[in-house]
Amino acid sequence: MNLIEYQALGIVYFIIRAGWPILILTLLRICGKTIGMGDVKIISVMSTMLCVDDLIFVMAASVMLAGVAIILRCIIERQFVKKELHYSFYITAAFFLLPFQTQIMEVYL
């Protein structure tokens, strides 16, 4: 976003784009789901750079990547995972999958 071109309106737009994921994911956190505030901040920063469709793809892909990682970890350790998962790694991995989004969507949909 060009702040020189949009001036004060650009700042308001930036705050709105960064704020909606914080509100939604904080409500999710309050409802008892275990997502850290660091993860909320990462998604908030990504929301200022990505369109809504790409952000939703990143969120969904990160959940799927984390799920696969947990299943593999359970199989390898031969027990149910009792440790916490560092979710920010999977958010970042999903972000780097964005250039391949169309190929991924064609395969799975």
Q: What is the pLDDT of residues 23-33, one digit of tens each?
A: 888 887 787 76
CA-CA distances (angstroms) from residue 20 to 4, 48, 67?
Answer: 24, 10, 25
24-66 pLDDT, tens digit per residue, is 888 877 877 667 788 888 888 888 888 888 888 888 888 888 8
66 touches 74 (CB < 8 A): no
DSSP 8-state assignment for residue 79: S
Structure confidence at residue 81 as a pLDDT band (50, 70, 90): low
Domain extents for the chain?
1-49, 51-109
